[in-house]
Amino acid sequence: MKTLAALCLSATLLAMPVTAQDAGEEAPEDGGGLMKRGAQMFFEGLMGELDPALRELEDLAGEMQPALRSFGEEMGPALQDLMGKVKDWSVYHPPEMLENGDIILRRREPLERDDDGILPRDRDWPERDRELPPLDGTPPDRERGGEIEL
């Protein structure tokens, strides 16, 4: 009889933590449910505020589509040509517009010259290093690197 009483008492004591755990698990679900509901309400309000702006953006995109398509058709070949010439955009500063309207791209670091002073990209143009005679027909008599009179 004492064995049966001890068995019932131990079964009762073991069952109590199980019921306590069940009650504890319900509490986070309620808290999680409140958090979920609060987040849902927040995003519903956000979407309500953003909906008119998104509709205006969609209308603006519809208006700009023909202009962007025309720009792509007109400038596409020139941009492809430019992309073929420039291999790494990170070696250039941002474009600058000069007072006369020209747009220039300056290199961050100049190209390195070889011993003869010809840039590596100009290696296939040997005639480029030669001096041209003045426009008035007189032969050039100044030394290389000297001052030029204007």
- CA torsion sign for 24, 28, 29, 31 is positive
7 φ/ψ angles, rounded to the nearest 5 degrees:
-65, -45
pLDDT value of residue 96: 92
The mean pLDDT value for 38-65 works out to 91
pLDDT value of residue 83: 81
Q: Would the pLDDT of 61 be above 70?
A: yes
pLDDT value of residue 97: 92
pLDDT value of residue 45: 92
CA angle 142/146/147 to nearest 5° reads: 100
Comparison of pLDDT for 64 and 3, the residue scoring more:
64
- The 10s digit of each residue's pLDDT in 68-114 is 899 888 888 888 888 887 778 888 889 899 999 998 888 888 766 55
Percent of the chain with pLDDT over 90: 18
pTM comes to 0.32
